[in-house]
Amino acid sequence: MRRLGPGEGVVGILLALAAISPFVLPSQAWIGFAVNAVLISVLSIAWNVTGGFCGQMSFGHAALYGTGAYAAAMLQLRLGLNPYLAGIVGIAAGAAMGGFIGALAFRYGLRGSYFALVTLAFAEVLRILASSFEITGAGSGLTLPFRPGLANLQFPDRYAAYVFVLILCILALAVSAAVKGSRLGSNMVAVRENEEAAGAIGIDAFRVKVVAMIISGAIAGAAGVAYLQIQLFIDAPIAYGSLISVEALLGPIIGGAGTLLGPVVGTVVLHIVGEVVKTGVGGAPGLNLVFYGIVLLLILRFLPNGLMGLAGNLRWPARTASAARSAEAR
């Protein structure tokens, strides 16, 4: 049904090159950076399902990410569950939290600014709860004992961790592509573009939006579980802090919300900007985020369709009409 434009091809090749670069240029700083960027990419892909495909902008995806991480950590520490099982439950917990927030918010017809606010509030409530109760480790957080090995889903070094997040990212992209290509994905786009019109042609907008939140919650939960298994530590500001919610949406907006590769492109570009700032001006806290904000403003001003919008403008020569149409279809 769709032909890939040259823009997507170029982006895909660049991403693939970026993905193998840590193996070509081994350095501790670079691999640490790559693990983080790919992990946040997974979270961005999750955000893109609701915010991009379905048009419901969440400002509180930390609620889903943190729930996945906390569920996996508590099951391992309190019940001694196997990390794989705990991880799967963590993903399910993220999905359940997504479904719960979505069902409540959409039941009462919240959209736009209201939806952004209610998601933000949920993340904040969870942050306060997680930092208040003993079972979630209260202020000191939860630490998993270090037992490296595949059986414990823990990694002896950062390269192993990198392979793990890379696989997770590819899986998340596959899920995202499957959703996008499916009838459900088309329904999401219909709801995004005009909810009333979508309803008029028989799409159950409420169901579509809740399903989007569930899928998004599962992917975000997986990102949370991955963070836990790599860092072996989680606390309330890390899991439910506003920084995570912001990072979740920056990637897709900068890369191009609603496109398949946009979230990854945006996240990687953003992290590269952050890294360049760090090496250029020193690692003072805050400065890289200042530049994140500036990049976001510039994208809004000059590339409202994100970087993928720019890539989408590339055309095969002499096939402009059909390419334009297929670009529209995407």
Partner 1 sequence: MLGLVVPAVLSGLTTGAIYALVALGLTLIYGVLHIINFAHGSLLMAALYTALFMNLRLGLDPYVALPVVVAIFFCAGYLLQRYVIDTFSHGRDANILLATLALSIIIDNGALYLFTSNTRTIDVPYAFEMVEIGPAFIPLPKLVAFLAALVFAALLWLLMRHTRLGAAIRAVAIEKRGAELMGIDVKHTYAMCFGIGTACVAAAACLLLPTFYVTPQVGYAFVLVAFTTVVLGGMGSLGGALVAGLFLGVVEALCGLFLGETLGQIGIFAAFILTLLFRPAGLFAPRVA
Contacting residues toward partner 1, per CB under 8 A:
57, 59, 104-105, 107-110, 112-114, 116-118, 120-122, 124-125, 128-129, 131-132, 242, 246, 249, 253, 284-287, 289-290, 292-294, 296-298, 300-301, 304
Helix (H, G, I), strand (E, B) or coil at 234: strand
Task: Report residue 214 as tokens.
Answer: 């569930």
CA 272 to chain centre: 17
CB of 103 to partner 1, least distance (A): 10
Considering the complex, state which of residue 160 and residue 294 has its C-beta at the smaller distance from partner 1.
294
CB of 238 to partner 1, least distance (A): 15
Considering the complex, state which of residue 44 and residue 154 has its C-beta at the smaller distance from partner 1.
44
As a dihedral over the C-alpha atoms of residue 306, residue 308, residue 314, residue 315, rounded to 10 degrees, the angle is: -120
Considering the complex, state which of residue 10 and residue 298 has its C-beta at the smaller distance from partner 1.
298
CB of 96 to partner 1, least distance (A): 17
Identity (one letter) of the amino acid at 50? T
| Helix or strand holding residue 233 (H, E) | strand 233-234
CB of 239 to partner 1, least distance (A): 17
Task: Report residue 50 as tokens.
Answer: 């609701």
Considering the complex, state which of residue 18 and residue 117 has its C-beta at the smaller distance from partner 1.
117
CB of 108 to partner 1, least distance (A): 5
Q: Tokens 């729930």 label which residue?
A: 67
Considering the complex, state which of residue 92 and residue 287 has its C-beta at the smaller distance from partner 1.
287
Tell me the β-bridge partners of 154: 149
CB of 274 to partner 1, least distance (A): 11
Q: Does residue 172 contact residue 189 with C-beta atoms inside 8 Å?
A: no
Separation of alpha carbons 136 and 110, rounded Å:
30
Query: CA of 288: how far to CAs of 228, 256, 283, in Å?
Result: 24, 21, 8
Considering the complex, state which of residue 81 and residue 138 has its C-beta at the smaller distance from partner 1.
138
